[in-house]
Amino acid sequence: MIPNYIEDVKAAKTKYADAWSHAHVDGDPRRLEWIKLFAKDLHAKDHNVGCNGKRGNPLDLSADAINILCDETDSNGRTPDGEPCVVVDVIGGAGGPTPSPIWGVYNTLVEGSGANVDPNATPAPPPPATPYIPSYGELGDDAFFRSQIGIPLQADMSIAGQALNDGSSVWFARACYELITESMKAGRMIDAAPIVKKYRNQWRAILGLPPL
């Protein structure tokens, strides 16, 4: 038989009044705070109680419901590990202007299926997203570096009476490196013109030529 912990819900509303005011509020960074505190307290009393991982995902916690492991006869769902469980709604009108303590055991299989997450444990964070890395073609291919750096660099050095040398390669390298790293930070291909202009003015300053 599933126990009724409505009095514990009411007590936790009072005990954690500030957290209760943030519970299940969309966009609120504290929307999960109260359910975690309540689940932790109730877990100390009944180790079958845990936070509820929606649709079996332990990283997507319900903000207004808990998960209770139970006997097969009382179950209406299973955890990802195959253990019988039920999900219990504990906040009526969650996220609205007048939420209230309730004890509502879900009675359908889909709603009752979820991960039972130990409220004392910290779920592993999701893996980092693959960073955006522009291709050589997105950078502009050979034509970009020839027209935007090679030709201007050769022209500027000619005006200054100097020939291209091994040190000339640093201007290609610096421009390319910054263009790639800044595009990775932005998550998209950025405008290359300001970066090219920045490095062209640097080499022009070294050559004694005025900035562009």
Q: pLDDT band at 95, cuts 50/70/90? A: confident
Sketch the domain layout of the chain as residue ranges. Answer: 6-117, 136-207
Report the pLDDT value the prediction gives residue 122, as an integer from 0 to 100. Answer: 64
Overall average pLDDT of the 64-77 stretch: 91
Q: How confident is the model at residue 110 (pLDDT cuts 50, 70, 90)?
A: low
Q: Output the 3-class SS for the chain.
A: CCCCCHHHHHHHHHHCHHHHCCCCCCCCCCCCHHHHHHHHHHHHHCCCEEEEEECCCCCCEEEEEEEEECCHHHCCEECCCCCEEEEEEEEECCCCCCCEEEEEECCCHHHHCEEEECCCCCCCCCCCCCCCCCCHHHHCHHHHHHHHHHHHHHHHHHHCCCCCCHHHHHHHHHHHHHHHHHHHHHCCCCCCHHHHHHHHHHHHHHHCCCCC
The yes-or-no verdict on residue 96 having pLDDT over 60 is: yes
pLDDT given for residue 108 in this prediction: 66
